[in-house]
Structure formats: structure tokens, C-alpha cells
């Protein structure tokens, strides 16, 4: 699509967004029903597209791409009336006889930019939020998964007229041309590097942003943790989508006494794995990056502990300076770092950028509490990995370098809505005129007295 066509669609959607905002909530819900049906009907083609793009196993496609979208749609259909209801608020004693409420209004026309690693779910889940909140939306899926992006385009075309929702395919140039337009909200999922570009572009139009980014999510294994459970959960979290998951365990922090037993549990669990049931690394460029990360770590003294689906590398003082400990790994490499005590463990985490997820394996509630309270992360999961993202009653998002804002369920509705505060005068609208000019000493004293009385 050329830039003029893109602009034309944008203006069409802008106009339409003013028209649809006043329509009944059921208008949005009918689109969500239709989206649900069309996604369900396309399940075989979606699975096939994932096979073409990077051999993602069917179970993973259904579990981590199709189901989350259907779940989000169902959540919106069930709760939208309640979420969209004006919220009545107290006016306080200072404003007697007035009424106050908060009205959630659609932001307008939204841009959704999606990454390649969960290309279906991360394009359509935000779309559910945008449509549910009464917006129009343009979706720019990833250029690295062309078959899946085409299915997304087909589905959106079948469900929505283009002035309500539209997919525009393309790479970074298309993305940048879209980012030049004055959208009312930009929902971006992707890398921190591109997140900064998105935010800078959004600043030009003072457009609000939700940034769902990545980072290095640690997995902490306490001295007395169930090591078999920790091994199974961490290996599952790291092999899901072949480690190409924003909330994948990035590295392990383990008590020094537990290393050999933990590795033995990983080895035993991995015996059940089948090479054909793991996604491919998305491209040769990404594979080369991972090879370089591993070689660099080994060269700097990292010790290989296991190499079967996942490479676990024990880091020492010199290898800690390797690139693998500086950037998000996003693949089946797993550095392992030992710690001696809780204090040094907490300092290790807080000396680094705030991660998107933090995993704790422990049976000790005091230890768990201490980590949760003294560190910061987008989300956390105790004695498991990744599953917190699947609960749409929980807002999902990063903090600091791992992102801005959150979504899923009600949080999505709020991300795509503006909270408009409204006050209505009542029976005695002139009651406050006493404090209008001329200002006198008596009025000042009375106002001070009211404040003292807690009005």
C-alpha cells in the first residue's frame, strides 16, 4: 500500500471513529462475536500458516495463539457492559448538590504494531481491546511471518469494514510511515530498541502509547526449592516457541548447593522431548545471533552444563561480561548464575533493568515475600513460569525498560479508553458563588475553616 492510500484509510477511520463512539455497546459486541466465529473457522489455516512460517507445533498454536484471542473475546463479551458503565463518584462536601462520574470514552483511531514471535495473538488480542473500547484500528503485523500476517489480514477483512479495522502489511518503512500519522493511541509490542523509536515518534503527535517490550527475566531457585518442579517449569518455559517468548526465563539464579541436582533434573525431563515438536528459530539472522552469543560466553569462560534442546551455561566472573548477560536472549540459551545469600541475590536483580517477568521457585514464604517486595518486575510467577500471562483477570505489561502500560481483559479496555471525568451542577448551582470575587478576609477565613474541617 502506498503512503497516500495509507493516509486515506487513516482519515476514513478517523471519521468513522467519531460516528461509532455513540453507538450502543452491542454494536461492538456483535463485531466481537463475528471475530470469534471467523477465528474459529480459520483454525486449520492458522495452524498451517504457522507451519509455513516457522514450524510452530499445532498444540502451541492453539494454546498460545488462538486460545488467548478467543479467551479475550469471551472475556469482553461477558464484561463489556459492566466495564463501559459510567462510574459514579463522590463529589465531596465541598461541592454539595453536584453529581460526579467517570465515563470511559473510546480514544479514537488506534495503531497496533505486532512482533513476529506470537504474531497472531499479539495482533488480535490488542484488537479485541481496541474494538471493545469503541475504537477503529489499523494493525501492522510482522513482516517476518508472512503466512500468519496474511491470515490475520484475511480474518480482519472478513469481519470488519476497512474504516473500522484494517491490516496494513509491511516492514519497518511501513511501520514508520504509520507512526507519522496522528493516531489517538499506539499499542506496540516488540523490542526495547524499536519501542524507543515508537515512543519518540508518538511524542511528535503527543499520542499516548502502550509499550509491551522485552527484557531479561530471571528465574530464581531457592536452596530448598523442589528442583524437579523448577527444572520442568523452566525447561518448558524456555522451550516453548524455542525460547522466543518475551516472558521466557532468560537466566537462572540458583543457590550454589543445588546446581548439580538441578541439571540432573533438567536432563531427565528433556529425555521426553521430541525435536520435531519445537518451533524453528525464525530466521538465519536470528540463529547466527544466538550462535554468536553462545560462542562469546564460552570464549569468556562460561562452562557448558547441558546441551540438549537448551544450552545451559554456568557463568563465572569473567563470562558475566559476555553479551549474553547484556541483551535479551530470545532463544534456547540459558545462563546459570549461582548465589550465596538472599541479600546478594536481590542486589543482582535490582542492579539491572526491571524485567518483564520474574520467577521464584521456593517453598519458603518469607523468601518469596522478600524477593517480591524488594524487586520490581512487570509480573511474577511463583513455582511456575509464563502462566501468569494466560490469566486475563491479571493486567499484563512491563515496568521501566520492560514496558509502559498493560492489557488483557479490563486492563485492555482501559488502555484503549480515555477516562473522562464529568461533574454536573444540581439544585443549587450558585452555592459556590460566595467564594467568587470580591475576595475578602472573611471568605478566606471561611475557606480555611472548611479545609480544617476536612471538606
Residue of 32, 46, 111, 122 that binds ligand NAD (CB under 6 A): 122
Which letter, b or e, does each residue of 286-320 get, where b requires 16 or more Cβ atoms within 10 Å of its Cβ? beebbeebbeebbebbbeebbeebbbbbbbeeebb
- In the complex with ligand NAD, the residue whose CB is nearer, 123 or 345, is 123
Contact at 8 Å (CB) between 407 and 125? yes
Report, in Å, the least distance between residue 321 CB and ligand NAD: 22
Of residues 125 through 144, those in contact with ligand NAD by CB under 6 A are 140, 142-143
Which pairing describes strands 417-424 and 165-167: parallel, antiparallel, or unpaired?
Answer: unpaired
Rounded to an integer, what distance in angstroms lies between the CA atom of residue 82 and that of residue 80? 5
Residue of 115, 237, 249, 335 that binds ligand NAD (CB under 6 A): 115
Site string for ligand NAD, 194-213 (x = CB under 6 A): x--x--------------xx
Of residues 240 through 279, those in contact with ligand NAD by CB under 6 A are 246
- In the complex with ligand NAD, the residue whose CB is nearer, 175 or 412, is 175
Rounded to an integer, what distance in angstroms lies between the CA atom of residue 319 and that of residue 291? 16
Of residues 388 through 407, those in contact with ligand NAD by CB under 6 A are 398, 403
Does 6 help bind ligand NAD (rule: CB under 6 A)?
no
| Catalytic (active site) residue 212 | yes
138: exposed, middle or buried (Cβ count in 10 Å: 0-12, 13-18, 19+): buried
DSSP H or E stretch at residue 420: strand 417-424
DSSP H or E stretch at residue 228: helix 227-239
Distance set, CA 33 to CA 38, 130, 150, 159, 418 (Å): 9, 15, 21, 10, 24
Rounded to an integer, what distance in angstroms lies between the CA atom of residue 454 and that of residue 434? 19
Query: Given the rule CB under 6 A, which of 116-124, 154-162, 319-327, 334-342 is the region that contacts ligand NAD?
Result: 116-124
Report, in Å, the least distance between residue 288 CB and ligand NAD: 15
73: exposed, middle or buried (Cβ count in 10 Å: 0-12, 13-18, 19+): buried
Other Cβ atoms less than 10 A from the Cβ of 354: the count is 18
From 106, 109, 181, select the one nearest 416 (Cα to Cα): 106
Size of the site for ligand NAD (CB under 6 A): 28
| Catalytic (active site) residue 266 | no
Site string for ligand NAD, 299-338 (x = CB under 6 A): -----------------------------x-x--------
Does 113 help bind ligand NAD (rule: CB under 6 A)?
yes
Report, in Å, the least distance between residue 94 CB and ligand NAD: 42
Query: Given the rule CB under 6 A, which of 18-26, 41-49, 69-77, 186-194 is the region that contacts ligand NAD?
Result: 186-194
Report, in Å, the least distance between residue 166 CB and ligand NAD: 15
CA-angle at 178, arms to 173 and 182, nearest 5°: 145
Does 214 help bind ligand NAD (rule: CB under 6 A)?
yes
Does 101 help bind ligand NAD (rule: CB under 6 A)?
no
Rounded to an integer, what distance in angstroms lies between the CA atom of residue 178 and that of residue 309? 39
- In the complex with ligand NAD, the residue whose CB is nearer, 106 or 405, is 405
Contact at 8 Å (CB) between 217 and 253? no
From the list 60, 65, 110, 246, the catalytic residue is: 246
> Annotated active-site positions, please?
212, 246
Which residues bind to ligand NAD, rule: CB under 6 A?
A: 113-118, 122, 140, 142-143, 171-172, 175-176, 189-191, 194, 197, 212-214, 246, 328, 330, 356, 398, 403
Amino acid at each position: 500500500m502506498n503512503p497516500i492510500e495509507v493516509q486515506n484509510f487513516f482519515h476514513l477511520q478517523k471519521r468513522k471513529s467519531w460516528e461509532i463512539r455513540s453507538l450502543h455497546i452491542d454494536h461492538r459486541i456483535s463485531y466481537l462475536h463475528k471475530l470469534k466465529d471467523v477465528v474459529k473457522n480459520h483454525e486449520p489455516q492458522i495452524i498451517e500458516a504457522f507451519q509455513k512460517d516457522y514450524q510452530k507445533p499445532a498444540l502451541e498454536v492453539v494454546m498460545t495463539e488462538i486460545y488467548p484471542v478467543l479467551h479475550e473475546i469471551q472475556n469482553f463479551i461477558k464484561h463489556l457492559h459492566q466495564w463501559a458503565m459510567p462510574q459514579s463518584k463522590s463529589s465531596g462536601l465541598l461541592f454539595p448538590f453536584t453529581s460526579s462520574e467517570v465515563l470511559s470514552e473510546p480514544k479514537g483511531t488506534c495503531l497496533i504494531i505486532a512482533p513476529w514471535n506470537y504474531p497472531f495473538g499479539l495482533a488480535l488480542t490488542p484488537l479485541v481491546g481496541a474494538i471493545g473500547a469503541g475504537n477503529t484500528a489499523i494493525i501492522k503485523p510482522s513482516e517476518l511471518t508472512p503466512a500468519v500476517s496474511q491470515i490475520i489480514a484475511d480474518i480482519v477483512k472478513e469481519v470488519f469494514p476497512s474504516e473500522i479495522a484494517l491490516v496494513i502489511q509491511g516492514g519497518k518503512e511501513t511501520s514508520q510511515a504509520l507512526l507519522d500519522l496522528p493516531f489517538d493511541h499506539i499499542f506496540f509490542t516488540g523490542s526495547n530498541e524499536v519501542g524507543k523509536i515508537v515512543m519518540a515518534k508518538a511524542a511528535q503527535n503527543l499520542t499516548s502509547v502502550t509499550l509491551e517490550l522485552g527484557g531479561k527475566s530471571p528465574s530464581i531457585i531457592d536452596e530448598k526449592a523442589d528442583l524437579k518442579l523448577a527444572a520442568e517449569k523452566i525447561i518448558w518455559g524456555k522451550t516453548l516457541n524455542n525460547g522466543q517468548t518475551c516472558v521466557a526465563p532468560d537466566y537462572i539464579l540458583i543457590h550454589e548447593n543445588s546446581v548439580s541436582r538441578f541439571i540432573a533434573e533438567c536432563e531427565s525431563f528433556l529425555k521426553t522431548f521430541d525435536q520435531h515438536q519445537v518451533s524453528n528459530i525464525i530466521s538465519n539472522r536470528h540463529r547466527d545471533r544466538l550462535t554468536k552469543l553462545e560462542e562469546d560466553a564460552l570464549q569468556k569462560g562460561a562452562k557448558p552444563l547441558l546441551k540438549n534442546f537448551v544450552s545451559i551455561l554456568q557463568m563465572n566472573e569473567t563470562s558475566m561480561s559476555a553479551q549474553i548477560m547484556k541483551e535479551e536472549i530470545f532463544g534456547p540459551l540459558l545462563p546459570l548464575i549461582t548465589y550465596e545469600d538472599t541479600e546478594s541475590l536481590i542486589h543482582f536483580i535490582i542492579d539491572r533493568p526491571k524485567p518483564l517477568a520474574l520467577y521464584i521457585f521456593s517453598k519458603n514464604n518469607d523468601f518469596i515475600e522478600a524477593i517480591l517486595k524488594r524487586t520490581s518486575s512487570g509480573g511474577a510467577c511463583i513455582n511456575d513460569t509464563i502462566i501468569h500471562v494466560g490469566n486475563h483477570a491479571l493486567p499484563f505489561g512491563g515496568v521501566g525498560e520492560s514496558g509502559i502500560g498493560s492489557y488483557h481483559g479490563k486492563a485492555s479496555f482501559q488502555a484503549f479508553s480515555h477516562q473522562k471525568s464529568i461533574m454536573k451542577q444540581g439544585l443549587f448551582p450558585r452555592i459556590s458563588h460566595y467564594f467568587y470575587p470580591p475576595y475578602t478576609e472573611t471568605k478566606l477565613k471561611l475557606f480555611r475553616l472548611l479545609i480544617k474541617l476536612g471538606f
